[in-house]
Copies of this chain bind each other. A is one copy, B any other.
Amino acid sequence: MIQVQLNKPIIEIASSAGWCFGVERIVEMAEKLLAQRAPDEPVYCLGELIHNPQEVARLRAKGMVFVKSHEELPPLEPGQRRKVLIRAHGVAPSVKKILREKGYEIFDGTCPLVTIPHRFAREIVEQGYRLVIMGDREHPEIQGILGEVEGLNARVDVIPGPEAIEALQIKASDRVGLISQTTHPFEKFAQLVGEVLKHALEVKAYNTICQATFDRQDAIRELAQRCDLVIVIGGRNSSNTCRLAEIASQYTVCYHIEDVSELKGAWLQGKRRIGISAGASTPTRCIEEVKTAIEHLSGCL
């Protein structure tokens, strides 16, 4: 059977997609530091600035040196000044202390919205609740929160979502405080809170999911329901991008790509309405590139 595509597909970008306030802010900080540096002066960044390989490559070309941890930072000569940028995800207080002791000048780009769960985590523990964090244990944001409550002698658990609730071994008399990684889906958090409440007498929960995440997730949910294909753009190590792909997949066919080079024409065949969304670390330029490529591949132009 020969399939003839009579209509050009409609291409829609989600009403909320791509760079958020925290990412814009940190990229601006990085650009400023790079613009001001002396010709031979490296500007260090602890971890990848944002979870977007193209953007990281662009900044590396301008003189930014990315190190995986503070241990990779070279010891400074007496009187030598070096700048280190802390990215939007934040770090544990102990890391900042080490940087200071090593003599580095700290530029703290932690997103103000990421510092909110830090404060609540501490409050929860100090008020005598068990702390449950919904998030990825290895994610820098969660590592930062864990560092915040380190040594406070409380039970702290990190779980990916409600499906892992058994690991918490909640007792009826437990008082449980919950927070979420800022980029996790709200529905999973609400479900987790409900599940915990089923077992524990008292539950205290802070909605620490940031508004930008919330808006992006709402937008892709709405978009995915009326598309027969959704393309999500963003780093594969970007937690918030992975969540977007996860949500879209619940409603339609979804592909998660890092940039336009991964797009395949075969995916577009027979599709009538194609949605595009992108994670918080994806520049608008990348979204436009993908849109243009889809138009070309599907014969719109």
Using a CB–CB distance below 8 Å, which chain A residues touch chain B? 186, 189-191, 193-195, 197-198, 200-207
Chain B neighbourhood of A206, CB < 8 A: 201-203
Cβ-neighbour of A207 out of B190, B191, B200 (below 8 A)? B200
Q: Is the CB–CB distance between A197 and B204 below 8 Å?
A: no
Q: Is the CB–CB distance between A190 and B198 below 8 Å?
A: yes
Q: Is the CB–CB distance between A204 and B207 below 8 Å?
A: no
Chain B neighbourhood of A189, CB < 8 A: 197
Q: Is the CB–CB distance between B205 and A197 below 8 Å?
A: yes
**How many chain copies?**
2
Quick one: closest B residue to A195, CB to CB?
B190
Chain B neighbourhood of A203, CB < 8 A: 193, 204-207
Quick one: closest B residue to A206, CB to CB?
B202
Quick one: closest B residue to A116, CB to CB?
B201
Chain B neighbourhood of A195, CB < 8 A: 190
Distance in angstroms between the alpha carbons of A186 and B196 in the assembled complex = 12
Q: Is the CB–CB distance between A197 and B202 below 8 Å?
A: no
19 A-B pairs with CB atoms under 8 Å apart are A189-B197, A190-B193, A190-B198, A191-B194, A193-B193, A193-B197, A193-B203, A193-B205, A194-B194, A197-B205, A197-B207, A200-B207, A201-B206, A201-B207, A203-B206, A203-B207, A204-B204, A204-B205, A205-B205
Chain B neighbourhood of A186, CB < 8 A: 198
Q: Give, as a whole number of angstroms, the nearest-CB distance from A163 to chain B.
A: 16
- 5 shortest interchain CB distances as A-B pairs: A190-B194, A204-B204, A203-B205, A197-B207, A202-B206
Distance in angstroms between the alpha carbons of A194 and B189 in the assembled complex = 8
Q: Is the CB–CB distance between B202 and A205 below 8 Å?
A: yes
Chain B neighbourhood of A198, CB < 8 A: 186, 190, 207
Chain B neighbourhood of A200, CB < 8 A: 207
Distance in angstroms between the alpha carbons of A193 and B195 in the assembled complex = 11
Quick one: closest B residue to A180, CB to CB?
B197
Distance in angstroms between the alpha carbons of A200 and B201 in the assembled complex = 21
Chain B neighbourhood of A193, CB < 8 A: 190, 193-194, 197, 203, 205
Chain B neighbourhood of A205, CB < 8 A: 193, 197, 202-205
Quick one: closest B residue to A194, CB to CB?
B190
Extra pairs beyond A190-B197, A203-B204 (20, CB < 8 Å): A189-B197, A190-B193, A190-B194, A190-B198, A193-B193, A193-B194, A193-B203, A193-B205, A197-B205, A197-B207, A201-B207, A202-B204, A202-B205, A202-B206, A202-B207, A203-B205, A203-B206, A203-B207, A204-B205, A205-B205
Distance in angstroms between the alpha carbons of A204 and B193 in the assembled complex = 10
Chain B neighbourhood of A207, CB < 8 A: 197-198, 200-203
